[in-house]
A and B are shown apart, each in its own frame.
Chain A
Amino acid sequence: MKTNLVASTVFMALGLVGLSSCEDGISEMATEETVKDITGSWKVVQLTRNGEDLSQRLDLSDFRIDFNADGTYTLAEQLPFIADASGSYRLSDPQYPFSLILRPAGIEEDVVARFQFPTVAGKRQLSLSFSLGCESNTYQYNFERENQDL
């Protein structure tokens, strides 16, 4: 029993030393948030309407959106989306974006989607939420980059 007590005291002391030694390392680490890069071709993997998952019920296999490095985006075809034409895009903030701002060609007004950029099951997802018709209806589109594994 005495041995156990000594062992646990030693263990705790070691742990404390370990913790304090980490402190410096953490404070010296660079904490600069990366700039969010959304360029690439994205396909829809999940679509919800007011929280209800419609992914299995709608054929979204042709839904593609390409974000190009020159600040333009391309829609694959006419689909339910906040923009019905290709155009230009920007994020509300390069590091901490809350929204994706689209300016479809030929329209003098921005359209805005709520933006999230989570990693789900090891894959980066682009998650956009917005209303299409009535404001009371919210849609969330979760995209994955095509050929992400390559």
Chain B
Amino acid sequence: MKRATHTLLYGYLLVGLFVTMFLVHCGLTALTVTVPEKATVNERVTFVMHSGAEPRIEEPGTYTTQLLAGIMVPKSWNARTNAVLTFTSPKGNGVLRMIPDSEIEPVSGVSWHQAAKNMFGIGPNLVDDFEWIVYRSTQSYTFRNNEDIDFDVNVECNVGSENMLVKLGFYVGSSIENLRPEDTDYKKVAFSQSFEVTGGEGDLIDFVNPQLATVQPVRSLDNDIITLMFDAGVTQTALENEDDIYLTIQGFDEAGLLVAEVNEQTGKTRLTSIGGKRFLIDFWPRGYFSLESVQRIARLEYFVTDASGIRRVGYGNTDEPFTYTFRCQ
């Protein structure tokens, strides 16, 4: 009996050792991406992911899996409906299909897309208006030991109608490994250099460079709860070394007429410090401006000021106000 137990124990240890060796020595090679520097609005652009597989499997074992690929793009591109992902490899070419929202990523317990967003975030971008979308090859592929291959995933996608500067996110993985936080072999992530979309109407949406002031969510209406952030570390301003920062703000309707304003230096308008010279204030515009039910605000103009309200900072560190337009598209 004792001997049998020992044999069992050694067996477990041996299996464990194999599994560990397999985990350490098998996996995907680093992901690189080819992304053009710029495109014009609504152009259909191709991005290419380059990676490879390095299977180190104890003979005669094999490893069968489906290829996973993910993209992180601005929500406004509607990539869910218009992106097409294909791949080329020595083991054959194929297409990748978007994983249904209803399918749960087993480790995180949420959808694959949400799991990727939670795990990879928005990379080097500073403003979040992105979605991760994860795709899976329609076929499975079986690898033998040392069957090293390189493969490319091609992403074709329309870039939307807004001018923007953005760094896109890419992911490749193996379907049977899921999105385990500790895994570094079967999930490879890369973010592109800055990609610019030009030729559209409206201001440039800059996701990449630090901004003096931002509003989150990027898309909202006056009945949303919005967060206004001031980053005093971006450049030297009149509010350098100031700890008490206040908001002075005006709301305008569609016709450009002033609907309401809040111009006071009180608890209502004081921004909270969140460290690193950054300050924020959250508010519900309809309540903040005490709007009547028929009143609508289409656009905000605002400054940040010191406690006296005299020293103030506006757009690009000028006397012009920061602006924010309420919109959903």
A57 touches B224 (CB 8 A): no
A136 touches B328 (CB 8 A): yes
Q: A69 interface residue, CB < 8 Å from B?
A: no
Q: Which residue of A lies closest to B274 (CB)?
A: A57
A132 touches B282 (CB 8 A): no
Distance of B161 from chain A, by nearest CB (Å)? 16
Q: Mark B207-221, 1 if CB is under 8 A from A, else 0.
A: 000000000010111
Q: Mark B1-21, 1 if CB is under 8 A from A, else 0.
A: 110000000000000000000
Q: How many residues of B contact A (CB 8 A)?
A: 21
With a cutoff of 8 Å between Cβ atoms, the chain A residues found around residue B224 in the complex are 49, 80, 132-134, 137
Chain B contact residues: helix, strand, loop or mixed:
loop
With a cutoff of 8 Å between Cβ atoms, the chain A residues found around residue B222 in the complex are 133
A49 touches B225 (CB 8 A): yes
B287 touches A134 (CB 8 A): no
Distance of B220 from chain A, by nearest CB (Å)? 5
B219 touches A78 (CB 8 A): no
Q: B286 interface residue, CB < 8 Å from A?
A: yes
A133 touches B328 (CB 8 A): yes
Q: Mark A43-79, 1 if CB is under 8 A from B, else 0.
A: 0000001100010011000000000000000000011
B293 touches A49 (CB 8 A): no
A136 touches B287 (CB 8 A): no
Q: How many residues of A contact B (CB 8 A)?
A: 18
Distance of B288 from chain A, by nearest CB (Å)? 10
A134 touches B328 (CB 8 A): yes
B272 touches A57 (CB 8 A): yes
Query: Given that A78-B287, A80-B287, A133-B328 are known contacts, is A54 also in contact with B225, CB under 8 Å in the complex?
Result: yes
Q: B82 interface residue, CB < 8 Å from A?
A: no
Q: How far is the CA of A57 from the CA of B229 in the complex (A)?
A: 13
Known: A1-B2, A134-B328. 12 other contacts (CB 8 A): A49-B217, A54-B227, A57-B272, A78-B287, A80-B225, A84-B293, A132-B221, A132-B224, A132-B225, A136-B75, A136-B328, A137-B217
**18 A-B residue pairs with CB within 8 Å:** A5-B1, A49-B224, A49-B225, A54-B227, A57-B227, A57-B272, A58-B282, A80-B284, A80-B286, A84-B293, A132-B221, A132-B223, A133-B221, A133-B223, A133-B224, A133-B326, A136-B217, A137-B220
Which 8 A-B residue pairs are closest in the complex by CB-CB distance? A133-B221, A133-B224, A134-B328, A80-B284, A133-B223, A132-B223, A1-B1, A57-B282
